[in-house]
Amino acid sequence: MHWAARSKHPAYPERFAVSDDIVSWTAPCSDYSPVEFVHQVVAANDCTLKVGGWADPAAPCRSTILQRTSYEYNKRGGNWAFDATSGRPMNPVGRTGMTNRGLLGKWGPNHAADPIVTRRNPTKAGRPLEVVVIRRKDTGQWAIPGGMVDPGEMVSVTLKREFTEEAGNVSEAERPRFEQLIAELFRASNGREVYRGYVDDPRNTDHAWMETVAMHFHCNAELGAVLRLNAGDDAAEVQWLEVGDHVDQYRKLYASHKAMVDKVLLTHGQRSTAKA
């Protein structure tokens, strides 16, 4: 649950090494010396310095932070923890080996939405379950095609927008039919919440972390057969990926994405321990 948050990100300096036994804030660690890092793109988008900036000010404001919902802190009784010296919010899961915000714009929770779109393979024997994945440009890993929730935006809107942006690079001639299919797929009655909470993400720090709402949308036979996938601006590649631990790419999905899709397996009568 807290492995990726202690691992290397290509845009980050080396973290202070955090072993499993000192992840918890309650575990003694007198020599803990995390690396202070905020990426220049975050500093350049300080909302107090740039019109339209999407990042919080360099100094955290406790009242502003507390106005945000933290799915993870809510699970833990709603009692936020703040560093007594800096006033920064503390990662609810534990140490990461890095302070400040890294690539994340918000102090505390940074909210995302992840659409888990599945189908039954229409041509392969046994019609195995497949999920739409994109290859991230930052890490090169395969991932659910999610994204950040804009201020004041409904999660349902984010889900549809992100999927369309990352898997909907179609021609003008194909656009009307594609949008019709997407509207059918993302209708409210078709979605089911799979997960809401903390994401074990390699961008996380001691003071900024990812939280998400993951929703499952399953294509019917017709839609699953005709929905074509083409990578959009935010993705290098996109594909239908067979679900199961027998698939190497599936085992190595980005951050907590495999755990989220594993939950979908339970509702589709498959086991993630399927053999090749």
Q: Which pair of structure tokens corresponds to residue 232? A: 């959009």
How far apart, in whole angstroms, are the C-alpha atoms of residue 219 and residue 228? 12
Residue 29 falls within a domain, yes or no? Answer: no
Kindly report the pTM of this predicted structure: 0.84
Tens of pLDDT, residue by residue over 139-154, are: 889 999 888 888 777 7
Q: Is 50 exceeded by the pLDDT of residue 270?
A: no
Q: Is 50 exceeded by the pLDDT of residue 276?
A: no
Residue 172 falls within a domain, yes or no? Answer: yes
Q: Which domain holds residue 219?
A: 110-267
Sorting pLDDT into bands at 50, 70 and 90, what band is 269? low
Residue 236 falls within a domain, yes or no? Answer: yes
How far apart, in whole angstroms, are the C-alpha atoms of residue 82 and residue 79? 10
Domain count, the chain: 1
How far apart, in whole angstroms, are the C-alpha atoms of residue 55 and residue 101? 10
Looking up residue 225, the CATH number of its domain turns out to be 3.90.79.10
Tens of pLDDT, residue by residue over 67-108, are: 999 999 999 999 999 999 999 999 999 999 999 999 999 999
Residue 189 falls within a domain, yes or no? Answer: yes
